[in-house]
Every structure is written in C-alpha cells, then in structure tokens.
Structure 1
C-alpha cells in the first residue's frame, strides 16, 4: 500500500535521531569524565557511530559544543516558562529568582569551562544584549520589578547575573576552591541584600 512519506523524509528522521543521540552521549561524556574528555572521537565511540557522522552533524568540536549549550539553554528556558515552581510560574518572585540563579549555577558547574571559552570570543554588546543573556536578564528584571517595584530592576538584573559570568564562576570553582553550595549561598545573600527576599504573591 503506498505511503504519503515524502522522499528523503526517512533519511531526515534518521539524521535527527542521530543528532539527538550524539548530543545526549556528549552530555554523558561531560557528566562522567569532565569537559576535558569532550572530543569528537570520544563522543563517536561512546555513541557507537563513526567519527565522520559526528563531523557531518556538527561540523567540528565548536559546533558540537554550541549545540550542547543550545540544548541545555532550551531545557533551562522551558523550566522558566512552564516548569514546576519555584523555577517555573507559581512561586513568589524572590523564590523564583533564587531558583533561577541556582539552576544556572548548576549549568555552569558542568559546562563552565566551555562557556567561558565561548564568552571570551563574543563581542561585548552581543554577549550582554542578545541570546541567552538577554533572556535571563529580562526574566530576572521582571521578577525583581514584582518583588521590589521601587528598585532599578534593569540594573539589579545585571548585578545578579555578574557573579554567574562563566569565567569568574570557573575561576572560583577551580582556582579558589569554592564549593557549589558556597556560591549558591553567596547568590542567596545577594538576593537578600538587594531587598528581594520578602515573601510576595506567586508570580505567573
């Protein structure tokens, strides 16, 4: 019986599955062995595909890293928009601010060195006012305005994001020996110090 499957659609579906499989494998490599172990050959071996397949899907290691960051960022943003509270809607603004800062610190704890390298090559205007940073800044500014209507929410959003610059975070973790819990506690202190910790109505 004839099908309505367009020519080449099966191949595209296979390519999409391969891409998703390789990305998931790359994340496991980083989680188990650290970012230093992330090479095209290592990912290909762990995924059970030829290294040529990895290159075809991502171009080079930089393309693979960018795809991994996009995937992780998409997961974070989905949690912010429609995930369970406190990261998602339904919790007081201060709780959502803390939840976001902690969630992003968790991302940095795994991918900080890769993100630091990417940040170092990005022009300043583009880094701070486009892409993920702009989304994070807008999210925090909205929550800050809800928690403290009298505050300069735009400025304080930058102030809360500054300690989460990947280069600084990586330096604190790898060179200063700060634990992740210590960094999160410091972020909590910033939220309190900025007068954002009062309990308010849930933000939706």
Structure 2
C-alpha cells in the first residue's frame, strides 16, 4: 500500500473506485478469481471499460486494489484496534498477535495476492510489506533483547510471515495450515524474545 498524500481524488472518481472495489469483491466471491476480468468488471459495474482501465491498468491491478483495500483495513486494526493486536498490550504479546493475524490475513487473501501478479514480478504482490517490517522492528525495540541487530531480526521475522506463505503453499494447504502456522509463529516469537 502506498503512503503519503497525493492529489485529492475527485468525488466522482472516489465513488467509482468504491463501486468498482465492491463489485470486484462480489464477483470474486460469486465467480472466483478466474472470472474477474477487466471486461467482466466493466459490464457488471455498469461503468465504461475506459473507466476500469484507467482505474486499474491491468487485470492484476484489480487484484492489487483489492489487496490494498484489505491491507488498509488490516493496518487500521494493528494501529488502532483492541489489544493485543492493537496498542495497549506488552510488546511480545502484540508481536505474537500481529504474526497470527497476518497469517490469517494472508490465508484469506491468498488468491487475491496471487492474482495480483502482473507477470513482471518474481514474487506475489503484497509479499514484501514494509508495514510488517516496520511494525515488527518497533515492537522488537520495546523488548530487552540485548545486543541483537533489530533491523536484521525484523527482516528475518517479516520473511517468516509473508513470502514463504504465498510462495510455497497452495490456497488449500494454507487454509489448513493457518492454525499450525499461527502456533509456530507464537513459538518462534517466544524463543526470539527469551531473556
């Protein structure tokens, strides 16, 4: 998800974006990812093909927008939701909750993330998430880990969450393995955070 402030979106463009995202989610639920195309989205939304192409650029762009939308909601929970995922819990508990929530997020968004590939990317879109690395780094800094290289440790923990889950497991495997992966994440964090 890109941060910062860009040009203000026109009201009609914002309305079209929300409508397209809602329509794309409905189509994905009803028809699956293979049937969600630029033409089908334009037809189902009642908007012109030009509007859809300007908004997303490619079919992969539709899925990237859906992934970004989900990431935005996930980040709101991390930054302002209830503890332990949100603020207010001890850092080790938040780190465990973050990883477990992230695993479940990736399981839920697996097909969307895979479909966000545009053919030029060697790995699934969303598998390199600066927010994960930054959040993990901030939480690690709140834990007494001695002389650990917190930047490197944050990179390694982020890699344990994102890339392998999307690269090596099928949607079915990930769905079945999510609870086991969540338990494994909790074990990993407890071992890393031992005094």
**Conserved 8 A contact 2:92-2:193:** no
| Aligned partners of 1:173 and 1:179 also within 8 Å | no
Check 1:51–1:105 CA distance in 2 against 1; reply closer, same or farther (3 A cut). Answer: farther
**Which ranges of structure 1 fall in alignment gaps of 5 or more residues?**
1-10, 199-204
- The count of corresponding residues between Structure 1 and Structure 2 is 183
Q: CA deviation at 1:139?
A: 1.0
Matched, 1:152 2:149: yes
1:97-132, Cα deviation, whole Å (9 max, x unpaired): 1222122222311333443564984589xx99xxx6
State the Cα distance separating 1:144 from its structure 2 match: 1.4
- How large is the RMSD of aligned CA atoms in angstroms? 3.4
Partner of 1:172: 169
Instruction: Please give the TM-score of this superposition, normalised by the length of structure 2.
Output: 0.73
Residues 127-142 of structure 1 correspond to what in structure 2 (within 5 A)? 133-142=129-138
- Alpha-carbon shift at residue 159 of structure 1 (Å): 2.1
What is the rounded CA distance, in whole Å, between the counterparts of 1:78 and 1:149 in structure 2? 28
Cα distance between partner residues in 2 of 1:146 and 1:153: 11
**Which structure would you say has the larger Rg?**
1
Structure 1 residue aligned with 2:139, among 122, 138, 143?
Answer: 143
Shift of 1:89: 0.9
- The match for 2:55 is 57
Which residues of structure 2 form unaligned runs of 5+?
1-8
